[in-house]
Structure 1
């Protein structure tokens, strides 16, 4: 599924509350910009049987008190099952999810700091990390009114 179709699916699946579909459409350029930097249109995410994403806590080697929580996104089903414990744990499954949907979910996943996308099948050293704060900042920039618009002077009356 190409990125345009993925975005349209996000819009179509959004609650029809008069606001959410327009918000999804407004942030779509930011989602697509990041998705274009990634290699695959979908990735495999490890999930519990209740569809909760599997989090991994990483510690900084130099400073073990510094931790971040990440979700791994694998390019193939084989990578998801071989690289992780999914093949051993019957309570964990790998699910294919469109890349724009992963990015969209990242916005709402408060405990998650980043999604780590593995970009080369069979290899774990070629990754792209997308930080939730970076994604939120890009989206905030897209949602802010354009600075190029002329402001109405306060003394117009």
Structure 2
């Protein structure tokens, strides 16, 4: 599914409250700009049986007190086993999720610092990290532009 179709599906599935579809349309260019830098239209995310995304805490080797919390996104189902023993854990499953949905979720995933998108099947060396803070800044810029074009309630984001 191409990016435009993913964005349209996100808009179509948004609550019909008169605001949310407009907000998604306003931030769509930011989501799309990042998604275009990624190689695949969907990635596999490791989830619990409750559909919670699996978070991995990484420590800095030089300074172990420096930590960041990431979610891994894999290009193929087989790649999940490269990093995780998830295949051995019946409480975890990998689910294919459209890249636009992943980025949209990242905006609101409070404990997450970034999503690491692995770009080469069979390898963990080629990855693109998308920082939540950078994505939030892009989204804020798009909302500001949209707000100046039409009136969106100021307390929405």
| Shared fold per TM-score greater than 0.5 | yes
Q: 1:10-89 to 2 correspondence within 5 Å?
A: 10-89=10-89
* Equivalent residue number for residue 130 of structure 1: 130
CA deviation string 1:35-75 (max 9, x = no partner) = 00000000000000000000000001111111010000000
Deviation, 1:130, is: 0.2
Deviation, 1:32, is: 0.3
CA distance in 2, matches of 1:70, 1:35: 18
Aligned length: 148
Conserved? CA contact 1:81–1:94, under 8 Å: no
Structure number having the greater helix percentage: 2
Q: Secondary structure at the match of 1:144?
A: helix
CA distance in 2, matches of 1:83, 1:10: 29
Unaligned runs of 5+ in 2: 150-157
Deviation, 1:31, is: 0.2
CA distance in 1, matches of 2:68, 2:83: 20
Deviation, 1:142, is: 1.2
Conserved? CA contact 1:57–1:68, under 8 Å: yes
Deviation, 1:83, is: 2.9
Unaligned runs of 5+ in 1: 150-157
Deviation, 1:82, is: 4.0
